[in-house]
Structure 1
Amino acid sequence: MRELLENAYGYLFEDELIEEIIKVAQYRKFKSDDYLIEIGDAILFMPLLLSGAIKILREDEKGDEFLLYFLERGDTCAMTMNCCMGKSKSKIRAVAETDGEMLMIPVEYMETWLTKYKTWRNYVLESYNIRFNEMLEAIDTLAFKNLDERIYKYLVDKVKVLGNTEIANTHQEIASEMHTSRVVVSRLLKGLEIDGKIKLHRNKIEVLKF
């Protein structure tokens, strides 16, 4: 655990905090598509992502999902932290985008560490700032971009998170996350291919420009 923790967070946290995290954290492995947090769950732990990627989703009254942001190694979830501090239930769904590992910090340590460790306080505040900006970007994308632009941004974001220009999502999976139909997604993806931005293969999409 120590090596994974130091690789992901050693440049952020002092040795004393690393030691405390090792003592109190629970280690968890997860697989791609695992549901890690559900809407309405009581939040008892704050995640520190050691490897892999997790997508954070909101759900509307119709049950449709909307992607807020991705978490990668070295990240935590600001929405989860907010629920921890407010002792409220989860308002988001966290789903594993890839296989990975994380440490789960019991919520009772969060407030103590805010006053005890300056590096922890800076990390929490910076995480809030990053996630807030990402949510603003997600709102701007939904409000101001055309659907083809939104789909292209979605694909580019996936490339950056996965570190791979080839994406295995089906047209139906993209349609579900974009709140549209598979037929519309297929048509717009074909347009992006004609523009030279992507290449469509039988079971994958290759992003050529990003």
Structure 2
Amino acid sequence: MLHQTSVVVVVFCFLLVASSSYASVQDFCVADLSLPDTPSGFPCKDVKKVSVSDFVYSGLAAAGNTSNIIKAAVTPAFTAQFPGVNGLGISTARLDLAVGGVIPIHTHPGGSELLVVIQGTICAGFISSSANKVYFKTLNKGDVMVFPQGLLHFQINSGKAPALAIVSFSSPVPGLQITDFALFANDLPTEIVAATTFLDVAQIKKLKGVLGGSG
């Protein structure tokens, strides 16, 4: 009986190593955007149809439109825009902040973020889940800051000129949830928002009006 168990374990280990080895020889999995997305990413494009353009993206060259309520723009290079990053655990984006621009407190549930300041001055920080400790700093050109996966964080243009940063993520689809929009840009009843945030009803209705919410 022990001998049979040992044989089963050896065979299982062999199959596991064999499957891992097989997976490692697949150089890439360019996303086939014509097929539905899945929890593990887009299905792979037929390698015969893959070209160099799948591995190149020029969308970050142009500045984003910052004429909006937050005076900021994020230009993503995620799987949907850049199929070559599918399955690689990486992606990037361009962040433009006009004077007074802000990326409100938000979270990326799918990956950690690394920010590199290219131009201007940016005050950035995150809040830990342990005792809600805040880590923030004013960043200048060339400075780099990391924001751990899932933690609330923000970026503010704290200078007197437009700011530019390149951000990278440890996921091809990091996800995004902005706290302000989650609370005030939907139809969650005002009474529930008031009960769960301790804000007064008048302020909540004002914010819902600004951000397009109802209820």
Which of the pair is proportionally richer in helix? 1
Q: Rg: which structure is higher?
A: 2
Greater length-normalized contact order (CA 8 Å, ≥ 6 residues apart)? 1
The normalised TM-score by structure 2 is 0.28
